[in-house]
Amino acid sequence: PETMGKSAMFGTLEETLRLSVDIPGVLPCIDWAHLHARAGDGSFNSYAEFAAALELVKKYLGADGLKHMHFHMSGIAYNAKGEREHLPLNEADLCYRELLQAFIDFGVEGTVGVEAPMPFHVADALTLQATYRRLRGAGEGEKAEE
């Protein structure tokens, strides 16, 4: 199950996590842009809000849930009802640096899918990778800690 980007749809973070608790072998796909768009007002876009979401993951799935995450990242256009469309990171207001810092601080591990529209998905993936490495403190030419 994936978190969804429209307020009228099933797929809040808690609903998605609850499915993962109730159905053995099911883990959530957390789409951070969807959660931001779902709010409809520009919220769910700060370190504190991202940290609170990761605390919720930990509450529902335990510390191990943070080590096996699958999530989507991209920019997103939204209105009061939620998601309109995915955007390249540089055209959107998603505070991805704060989100990546929360991942580092919470020891998040897993897989990320970049959902930027073509042809921007590669550039956004490289931007996220470079930003993550910078935040982790890896110098130029150094490999970030694994």
- Is 0.85 surpassed by the pTM of this model? yes
**Tokens standing for residue 41:** 């007002």
| Separation in Å, CA 135 to CA 113, 115, 141 | 19, 22, 14
103 SS3 class: helix
pLDDT in tens, 19-31: 999 999 999 999 9
* Region of residue 82 (left: phi > 0; alpha: psi -120 to 50; beta: else): left
Per-residue pLDDT band for 16 (boundaries 50, 70, 90) equals: very high
**In this structure, are residues 7 and 40 in contact, taking their beta carbons and an 8 Å threshold?**
yes
